[in-house]
């Protein structure tokens, strides 16, 4: 019996634990065994070791519980920083067509004149800056300054069997007034004063002339100003007929005529 108690006491005293409670538990187990009586020592020994095991498990779980404490975090959404919205600069679509145009009136058509060999047909043209092309509102008065010219082909010379070229052209000052006008159409009567040079059958001449003309056109006027450019004036298309009395070279009749198409363009500046 003494030997068994010594073994048990030695086990209780020599066993090591994870906490500082090891010594107290060993002494407790030894006291319980020493106070026992015959026949009951084994039961007390098992009870002592069972209590010892529970206390040991508690000491191991206790630090684990401290480690497993939940970490408190604030999951509320933090206020978003103030953002500055930058409005994009307006973009202007470039107007289709030429970037630069002058307020012009352009005539293009057929020209004819009588010569010493017969009637000479050809092409005639004129271009000038006109007030009616620049005005953003329909106007009844037109004043213009420009240039004109014509190239004619005279009939063959019966003796030489060769054709001869005839030409004339110069500068003009024109004044016109509307005969009738609607919201999108108008008719004009105009007169021209001319300074011109002419050549016919190898002879040149410089002189003055005058011309009268009538025309009818469809038109659209307006004005537009934006950062990308300026539009001011009138677009138009029409027809015209003209008769002129001019001081020309010998062999070329003093009377000439033109018929054809007339156009107007506004002032456009879009760099």
Average pLDDT over residues 171-188: 96
- Its domain, for residue 33, covers 2-64
253 assigned to some structural domain: yes
Q: Do 132 and 24 belong together in one domain?
A: no
Picking from 15, 39, 64, the residue at the C-terminal end of a domain is 64
pLDDT-derived band at 223, boundaries 50, 70, 90: confident
142 assigned to some structural domain: yes
Q: Do 237 and 108 belong together in one domain?
A: yes
Q: Is the pLDDT of residue 154 over 70?
A: yes
Return the percentage of the chain with pLDDT > 90, whole number. 46
56 assigned to some structural domain: yes
Average pLDDT over residues 118-145: 94
173 assigned to some structural domain: yes
Q: Do 125 and 199 belong together in one domain?
A: yes
Picking from 16, 47, 64, the residue at the C-terminal end of a domain is 64
80 assigned to some structural domain: no
Whole-structure pTM value: 0.62
Q: Do 238 and 110 belong together in one domain?
A: yes
Q: Do 242 and 153 belong together in one domain?
A: yes
Q: Do 113 and 25 belong together in one domain?
A: no
Q: Do 46 and 132 belong together in one domain?
A: no
Split into its structural domains, the chain has a count of 2
Residue 171 is predicted with a pLDDT of 97
87 assigned to some structural domain: no
- Output the domain CATH number for residue 212: 2.40.160.20
49 assigned to some structural domain: yes
Q: Is the pLDDT of residue 26 over 80?
A: no
Q: Do 196 and 118 belong together in one domain?
A: yes
Per-residue three-class SS string for the chain: CHHHHHHHHHHHHHCCCCCCCHHHHHHHHHHHHHCCCCCCHHHHHHHHHHHHHHHHHHHHHHHHHHHCCCCCCCCCCCCCCCCCCCCCCCCCCCCCCCCEECCEEEEEEEEEEEECCEEEEEEEEEEEEEHHHHCCCCCCEEEEEEEEEEEEEECCCCCCCCCEEEEEEEEEEEEEEEEEECCCEEEEEEEEEEEEEEEECCEEEEEEEEEEEEEEEEEEEEEEEECCEEEEEEEEEEEEEEEEEECCCCCEEEEEEEEEEEEEECEEECC
pLDDT-derived band at 157, boundaries 50, 70, 90: confident
Q: Do 142 and 206 belong together in one domain?
A: yes
Q: Do 153 and 231 belong together in one domain?
A: yes
Residue 99 is predicted with a pLDDT of 78
Least confident of 16-25, 75-84, 160-169, 207-216: 16-25
Picking from 17, 41, 64, the residue at the C-terminal end of a domain is 64
85 assigned to some structural domain: no
């Amino acid at each position: 019996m003494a030997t068994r108690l010594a073994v048990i006491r030695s086990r209780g005293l020599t066993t090591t634990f994870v906490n500082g409670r090891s010594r107290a538990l060993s002494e407790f187990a030894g006291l319980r065994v020493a106070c026992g009586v015959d026949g009951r020592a084994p039961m007390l020994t098992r009870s002592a070791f069972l209590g010892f095991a529970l206390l040991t498990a508690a000491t191991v779980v206790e630090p684990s519980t401290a480690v497993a404490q939940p970490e408190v975090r604030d999951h509320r959404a933090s206020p978003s920083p103030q953002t500055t919205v930058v409005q994009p600069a307006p973009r202007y679509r470039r107007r289709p067509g030429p970037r630069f145009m002058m307020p012009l009136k352009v005539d293009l058509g057929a020209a004819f004149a009588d010569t010493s060999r017969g009637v000479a047909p050809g092409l005639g043209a004129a271009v000038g800056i006109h007030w009616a092309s620049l005005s953003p509102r329909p106007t009844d008065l037109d004043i213009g300054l420009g240039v004109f010219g014509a190239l004619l082909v005279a009939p063959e010379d019966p003796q030489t069997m060769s054709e001869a070229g005839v030409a004339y052209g110069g500068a003009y000052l024109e004044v016109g007034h509307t005969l009738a006008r609607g919201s999108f159409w108008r008719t004009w009567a105009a007169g021209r004063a001319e300074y011109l040079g002419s050549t016919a059958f190898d002879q040149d001449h410089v002189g003055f002339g005058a011309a009268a003309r009538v025309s009818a056109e469809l038109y659209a006027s307006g004005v537009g100003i934006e950062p990308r450019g300026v539009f001011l004036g009138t677009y138009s298309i029409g027809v015209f007929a003209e008769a002129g009395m001019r001081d020309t070279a010998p062999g070329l009749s003093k009377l000439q005529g033109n018929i054809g198409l007339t156009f107007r363009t506004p002032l456009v500046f879009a760099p």
